[in-house]
Structure 1
Amino acid sequence: MHVDLGSALGATPGVSRDSLERLDEQVATAHERIQAGRDDHEHGYAALNLPETVDLDLIRSAVEPFNDPAAVLTVGIGGSALGAATFADALAGPEDPDAYFLDNVDPEHVSRLLDSLPLGRTVVNVVSKSGATAETLANFLVVREAMADAGVDWTERTFVTTGESGNLRALAEKHDLPSLSVPDGVPGRFSALSTVGLAVAAIQGHDLDAICAGAADAAGDLSGSLFATPAYAYGATTYALAERGAGTNAVMPYAERLETFAEWFAQLWAESLGKDGLGQTPARALGATDQHSQLQLYRAGPHDKLVTLLRPRDRPDCAIPETDLDGLSYLGGASLGELLDAEFEATEASLAASDVPAIRVEIDAVDEESIGSLLYEMEAACILYGELAAVSTFTQPAVEWGKRAARGLLGGGDFAEAEAVEGRTSLLVE
């Protein structure tokens, strides 16, 4: 990952080189804490050890029974799906099995997806660390019934990724299903580089070794200075900008294959850092599409935003044919890649002209090694931000509140949170 902070210097809000020099002392202290957490495999910090602790052979063995599938359907939510979806959308080729994700319980979407799938040639990957996630288990029950109705033996098409105990673990043991264990000490949103995120990549035939090699290289680059570590440069500068009023971080990849990465990033950033009245709201955009919509707000709206511009340095290209249409002859002889790069640089300059801070993030290519590195470095950036902000990066109390409320409303127990939902104030206009 290559990080250019130039467009964040002197913006409004912005940082100066001097302020980053002063902040670097705190980065050194935070790095010591992060390294100690990694050395002791502490909860959360253990995520940064995954490139060296994940057992890739175990993942390959678990998916080996599923020969030549047409599709793989992951039933999970949040961190149980977004890492795998990021790999699938970034790396999938035309000959790979199609990857689908049931990470919501919208009944219309679930029904339409299942009706469209060749269930007899679909592998079902059920992911829940606890084995009791309501949305995941509900969707899986629906999937299982759909397969049975279609005359498909679901036990021959299903594997699970879960904890050492719980409903899914018991189900796997009862039906002798292939299974993988989620890593200890790794919150779901940090689990992309583990059994949770890599099983689908294995089914699609991607190079797991290259993914982890990219992440391992990034791990080896972590040092006590933001000026020597791209991940820390990003984490420290986003923290500094948030402290100065940039409460929104709009992540804008200039590659369709990286659009899902922005979704993964949004969960990582929001769930990890949104604590105690602090944090930075992640927004998702796509270049060049959203230059024609959201850029208006970023440039001319409140000065409370940072824009992260992301692109690969190397990509396939497509020539633009010559044309005799008035005013468009300048496009002839150029390529779509050149046009997209021009759009990227124009957006960056446009933001600078309006004193809006931006950070340029580039990866070498959209391939296994670069994507592994990108996800690892953004996790490290998030953890560093959490250390600098003194928030509890690896907890999610607000998320757990909502889970208890929903379970109580469905009769799954006596929870005070459900009573709060029932007692809400209403002002209905019809």
Structure 2
Amino acid sequence: MQVDLGNALGTTPGLSEGTLDRLDDRVADAHERIAAGRADREFGYASLALPETADPDAIRAAVEPFGRPAAVINVGIGGSALGAATLSNALDSETDAYFLDNVDPEHVADLLADLPLEDAVVNVVSNSGTTAETLANFLVVREAMADAGVDWTERTFVTTGPEGNLRRLAERHDLPALDVPAGVPGRFSALSTVGLACAALQGHDIEAVLAGGRDAMGGLSGSLFETPGYAYGAATYALAERGAATNAVMPYAESLETFAEWFAQLWAESLGKDGVGQTPARALGATDQHSQLQLYRAGPPDKLVTMVRPRERADRAIPETDLEGLSYLGGASLGDLLDAEFEATEASLAAADVPNVRVEVDRVDERSLGELLYGMEAACVLYGELASVETFTQPAVEWGKKAARGLLGGGDFAEAEAVAEKRELLIGE
């Protein structure tokens, strides 16, 4: 993973090399705190030890009885889905993966109607074992399998904490069960049982994913000038302090589109506290050059654009043509065009005085993905240290969970009472 901050220097808002030099002393102090927390496996900081503590053998042992299914259905939400989805959607496999991370009834029904349930494996993921959306979807999946004549107990395993409904379900039905790592919030769990089980079922090299994470972990030092993840975390923090309230993450690879979704949860849920934080926006190059770039380049000067790409990729030649005005494309490739779009967008933003940061990985493979995911987690933790926020908690999310559970009769929660207080200003029938 490599980070280029050049186009964030001297922009509006922007940084200077002197700013980065001064900030580096704070990065050194923050690194000491992060390193100590990681070594002691403190809550949250334990996430940054996962490349060493995750056990790929245990994951493979849990999924081995299922062989290589036609499909895997990951039932989870938020951090219980996005890390696994990032790996799955970035890598090719003969086993299709589907992620039930929403309770939209039409979507769930349509998906289950089309799946080969007799040759599908279900992974139910919830640390607490009480997540309402996850358990509701699982009950629907279980019923669909029974209706199709499939013994769900032979096609299901769980990934959960030491207690809760899912743990009891696994014990009652003798289901394979993987442990969610202690002290690791869901959005930081991609390099653990939570993110890697689906990849293992699809036949991906999970050891290489962890090796990429170890590469990034081994590169952590007390200087932003030596650590790509810290360079990104420090720069985004400093830009946010200067007015870059939105961070538009724009991968130039279809395979990394879900990575932008994963990043959005990591950034928003970790850093949006106490009136501070940076709003993540998701874009896709080159598609969103034709939709969102107008705003980024000519709208309010409150944005940072993070552009992500692999240095190497498979390519496809563009056929020669005699169509007037298009002959220049002949002899080039789609990769050439995409790279030109990438570099032109960088230059376009810089010319408009909009800060943008380039993040590159060698290629979209297991090792590079592990390095990218870990690097961004380290960036997020560093940002939290610099901003003095509680990076690993999510109290605003918990408020909504309690309100929803109370509305469904799952307990007596004061938060549910606030729903009745909603103001109305109705227009239309």
Aligned partner of 1:182: which letter? V
Match of residue 9 from structure 1? 9
Which residue among 391, 394, 398 is the counterpart of 2:392? 394
Q: Distance in 2 between matches of 1:164 and 1:415?
A: 25
Task: Identify the residue that residue 127 of structure 1 maps to in structure 2.
Answer: 125
**Counterpart check, 1:292 vs 2:293:** no
Q: How many residues align?
A: 428
Deviations 1:17-68 (A, max 9, x none): 0000000000000000000101110000000000000011000000001023
Query: Hey, what's the Cα distance between the residues in 2 that align with 1:208 and 1:67?
Result: 16
Q: Secondary structure at the match of 2:306?
A: strand
Counterparts of 1:187-198 in structure 2, within 5 Å, are 187-198=185-196
* Aligned-partner Cα distance in 2 for 1:278–1:290: 27
Counterpart in the other structure of 2:165? 167
- Aligned mates of 1:365, 1:354 — CA distance in 2: 30
Aligned twin of 1:186: 184
Aligned residue identity for 2:109: S
Distance 2:16 2:22 in 1: 10
Instruction: Give deviations 1:315-374, integer Å, cap 9, x for gaps.
Output: 000000000000000000000000000000000000000000000000000000000000
Deviations 1:237-258 (A, max 9, x none): 0000000000000000000000
- 1:40 aligns with 40
Write the mapping of 1:14-413 to structure 2, written as runs, cut at 5 A.
14-93=14-93, 96-413=94-411
Match of 2:419 in 1: 421
Distance 1:142 1:291 in 2: 40
User: What's the offset of the Cα at 1:282?
Assistant: 0.2
Give the whole-Å Cα distance in 2 for the aligned partners of 1:186 and 1:196.
10
Offset from partner CA, 1:185-232 (integer Å, 9 cap, x none): 000000000000000000011111111111001000000000000000
Give the match's secondary structure for 2:65: coil
How far, CA to CA, are the matches of 1:178 and 1:411 in structure 2? 31
Amino acid at match of 1:60: R
Q: CA deviation at 1:153?
A: 0.2
Contact 2:285 2:342 in 1 (8 A): yes
Report the identity percentage.
79
Following superposition, the deviation at residue 92 of structure 1 comes to: 2.0
SS in 1 for 2:149: coil
CA distance in 2, matches of 1:176, 1:410: 30
Can you give the 5+ residue segments of structure 1 that lack an aligned partner in the other structure?
none
* Cα deviation code 1:67-91 (max 9, x no counterpart): 2310000000000000000000011
CA displacement at 1:421 relative to structure 2: 1.0
Name the aligned partner's letter for residue 28 of structure 2. A
**Which amino acid in structure 2 is aligned with residue 18 of structure 1?**
G
The one-letter code sitting in structure 2 at the alignment partner of 1:62 is A
For residues 269 and 209 of structure 2, the distance between their equivalents in structure 1, rounded to whole angstroms, comes to: 24
2-structure distance, mates of 1:311, 1:43: 32
Tell me the amino acid that sits aligned with residue 68 of structure 1. R
Cα distance in 1 for partners of 2:212, 2:279 equals 28
Distance 2:108 2:356 in 1: 38
Rounded to whole Å, the distance in 2 between the matches of 1:39 and 1:149 is 49
Q: Per-residue deviation at 1:424?
A: 1.0
Superposed CA RMSD:
0.5
3-state DSSP class of the match of 2:249? strand
Distance 1:100 1:307 in 2: 30
Cα distance in 2 for partners of 1:17, 1:421 equals 49
Amino acid at match of 1:6: G
